[in-house]
């Protein structure tokens, strides 16, 4: 396998077909692998391509997580609509909150006398259900929103009594729906 010694006393490997020694060259007192530039470049391109594909797949997966149409949120929507319908029953308008307050966990009264019978669920209460607000208003229409009112509609209490239904709809990104369909699961806030 080895040829005769060179002038510096080292042996040079013989080129033998199929031998692992074909990729080794003597340099001084040590042996170093012969670099195949084409193979190295192809490996680098393939590695970079795989890395970019994995990053793109991760981005798409994270971007398309649909928190709005999960089974648990659909069930919560149905429960909320049933609860609001039961609250209203034959009472239209609903009874005003006690202690001269303008809201409670079931109804919001605006300064102009308009009202919303509502339920709200925050994802902090149930991580499987992303924020959902559903209400039937004094105008006879159903509304929904994905605005984050926080636990117990804390944001509403901090913001104070709304002036009107129109102001409330605009400020909290309410969208109209038919009171039954899954349209109420769509995103209204935050807007892109």
| pLDDT for position 78 | 97
pLDDT at position 143 over 90: yes
Task: Please tell me which residue, 102 or 11, carries the higher pLDDT value.
Answer: 102
pLDDT confidence of 32, banded at 50, 70, 90? very low
What tokens were used for 103? 């809201």
167-175: Cβ within 8 A, 24+ apart: 167/110, 168/108, 168/110, 168/116, 169/143, 172/133, 172/145, 172/147, 173/145, 173/146, 173/147, 174/133, 174/135, 174/143, 174/144, 174/145, 175/143, 175/144, 175/145
CA 156 – CA 174 distance, rounded (Å): 14
pLDDT at position 126 over 80: yes
Average pLDDT of the residues in 162-189: 96
What are the tens digits of pLDDT across the range 47-60? 888 888 888 777 66
Nearest to 75 by CA among 117, 27, 134, 31: 134
Task: Please tell me which residue, 112 or 31, carries the higher pLDDT value.
Answer: 112
| pLDDT for position 186 | 95
What are the tens digits of pLDDT across the range 65-78? 688 999 999 999 99
Looking at the DSSP assignment, which residues form a beta bridge with residue 176?
143
Average pLDDT of the residues in 71-100: 89
Q: How far is CA 163 from CA 96, 160, 175, in A?
A: 16, 9, 18
| pLDDT for position 55 | 80
Q: How far is CA 126 from CA 122, 129, 172, in A?
A: 7, 6, 21
Instruction: Provide the 8-state DSSP code for 137.
Output: E
Angle, CA 34 vertex, CA 30 and CA 35 arms, to 5°:
130
């Amino acid at each position: 396998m080895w040829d005769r010694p060179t002038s510096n006393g080292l042996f040079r490997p013989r080129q033998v077909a199929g031998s692992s020694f074909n990729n080794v060259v003597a340099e001084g007192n040590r042996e170093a692998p012969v670099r195949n530039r084409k193979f190295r470049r192809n490996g680098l391109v393939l590695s970079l391509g795989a890395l970019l594909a994995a990053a793109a797949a991760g981005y798409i997966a994270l971007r398309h997580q649909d928190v709005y149409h999960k089974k648990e949120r659909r069930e919560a929507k149905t429960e909320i609509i049933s609860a609001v319908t039961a609250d209203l029953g034959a009472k239209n308008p609903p009874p005003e909150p006690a202690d001269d307050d303008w809201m409670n966990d079931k109804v919001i009264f605006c300064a102009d006398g308009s009202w919303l019978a509502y339920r709200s669920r925050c994802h902090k209460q149930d991580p499987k259900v992303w924020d959902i607000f559903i209400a039937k208003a004094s105008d006879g229409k159903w509304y929904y929103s994905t605005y984050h009112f926080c636990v117990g509609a804390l944001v509403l209490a901090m913001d104070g009594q709304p002036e009107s239904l129109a102001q409330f709809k605009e400020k909290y990104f309410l969208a109209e729906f038919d009171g039954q369909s899954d349209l109420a699961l769509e995103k209204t806030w935050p807007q892109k």
